[in-house]
Amino acid sequence: MKIAFASKDNLYINEHFGWCQKFFVYEVDKDGFSFVEEIDSSLKYEAEAEKLLYKIECIEKCDIVYVSQIGPKAGNMVQNAGIFPLKSSSESQSIQEALVQIQKLINDNPPLWLKRILLKKDRR
């Protein structure tokens, strides 16, 4: 599965979804994880809805987006696009830590939301 991290530095989950200038995408499975790409999401839009749609289009191939903050409207739009939003525990939570946690969830007892993502991925 692919996870997009909203980050300023590819080290920490430290960006708000709507303000994020870059997403860092990782592939994660039961055996490990690897960096895939950096996505530039820095185009500016005046209208809030257009800005959010643009951010979602940037990460449309991802299954999860991991952010420091996300508003309720953006969260709903992300979910309606088939992407599961996750909020970091703090802006000091590292991407590495989150990747290890997700991989552990995959291998141990995945919660329902993660099982749905894994099933969706298997159907592709």
What is the number of domains present in the chain? 1
- The per-residue pLDDT for range 77-105, each reduced to its tens digit, is 999 999 999 999 998 999 999 999 999 99
CATH number at 96 reads 3.30.420.130
In sign, the C-alpha dihedral spanning 60, 103, 86, 15 is: negative
Residue span of the structural domain in which 17 resides: 2-123
Do residues 62 and 83 lie in contact, with contact meaning Cβ atoms separated by under 8 Å?
yes
Strand partners, 7: none
- The per-residue pLDDT for range 14-56, each reduced to its tens digit, is 999 999 999 999 999 999 999 999 999 999 898 999 999 999 9
Does residue 113 surpass a pLDDT of 90? yes
pLDDT reported for residue 120: 83
Separation CA 93–CA 95 (nearest Å): 7
